[in-house]
Structure 1
């Protein structure tokens, strides 16, 4: 059983994007709550290894300096050694997102007729399909598949986590070759195992990479489809690279942002030549579909 470390802190609502970007450097899976009566937003980062308090403080100091606020107090603790994966699985029924039917290995009933089953167990990698951003991306994928005139041949899932979006794309388009990447090594390992379970390992390649830095990402470019379910800050920071790696007429699905961050993310991507085609909103979360001009 892998150890899980939990980093917890609260930051002013207006500074959330900058702290999200700062915490990205530590890897792991980030959970962002709603603001309390003082306007403070809780951030919880789940990590597969201990980054050390000095490293955490260094990242938070940069965000605090940029936003003009104090370095927030934080706790970093090893979570109790319970089999939290088994506990989570037991309480997670299968769910649907359009035609996608996402289930864990503990689910013993057959997939509904006509559905696209994806086997994803709760693990250290983000992406069981239950978060609104993941569901929004799955719905975006299904909408793209309905356009039979455009069939992507090369796709990139940036920040793939469990690999769920890469697998969904591979299941929708049988001839599609997908490259999935994540900066978190344990997540890449989990995604590779999941690819075998979902029988797409021959068409989905998974690599460790921080953003677009991997040689493999550059070698396979340009992409007809890019999926990026990460955070608003990193999405904006990588907008130029995203446009550069898209083929003419290519689409990009962006998520990991809340509604009030839409304007910021759209402005940055419009500035590099991408146009909004459609958006999905689930709760307070947004998923955006953009296209590069032909």
Structure 2
């Protein structure tokens, strides 16, 4: 009897597993080829950034003035500089790999900061209404009337450059978009029956906001986050290019290109390779973001 029950349970598990695998394979077949390609590109860049200390062929800060501004494929003392060297003879491949980690770290942390601030304020404005709503939404209007890159440049110029300062500046200049989305979604969700039932059951505002409303507005917020992620990468590169972001000797794609622009006629590779990596990363993020938006909001496909 027990053996037959075990066999039945095992059969049910196998059937459920095969059904899940079949459903997954059918979903993958519906994924466009372009999305698969950019997903691979994005994954490769992320993995190279994570494992840069083990993948990079040389110390990114080791100088070799005898080998400065050498082209891709240059060999010296048994070391091959696959992407060439910069103005101080540093290996460009190693600096590009480490720069990927810096760009991704700044972008991820900035998105986390801006989403936490923006979503929290948006839910508060949509739930409490009244004067709090007016105050928060007027502040959003003021912030969104100022170009984000201009606000970031002014703030960094006052506070000074640095990794943590850059993260805070980028995060605190991009929260209004999250606030608008969270505010609009909270207004819709707040009138649903299960929210009213939670109020009648005695649930506090914090519990309703973070346990009931937040999970129901996560989809639109995630769509905004994917779009903002690519923008954060570009803003970090732009500020570093202007000398207001990541400071030497740390490597950043923007700072590498800033140095390379002085030698673009005789050492084009210093600008070309980090610029290509920046383009591929932002392009892949944007394509994945568009696809994710279509999956989470099917109505957008018909617009």
TM-score, normalized by the shorter chain, greater than 0.5: no
Q: Of Structure 1 and Structure 2, which has the larger fraction of its residues in strand?
A: 1
Length-normalised TM-score, structure 1: 0.21
Higher relative contact order (CA 8 A, sep 6+): 2
Q: Of Structure 1 and Structure 2, which has the larger fraction of its residues in helix?
A: 2
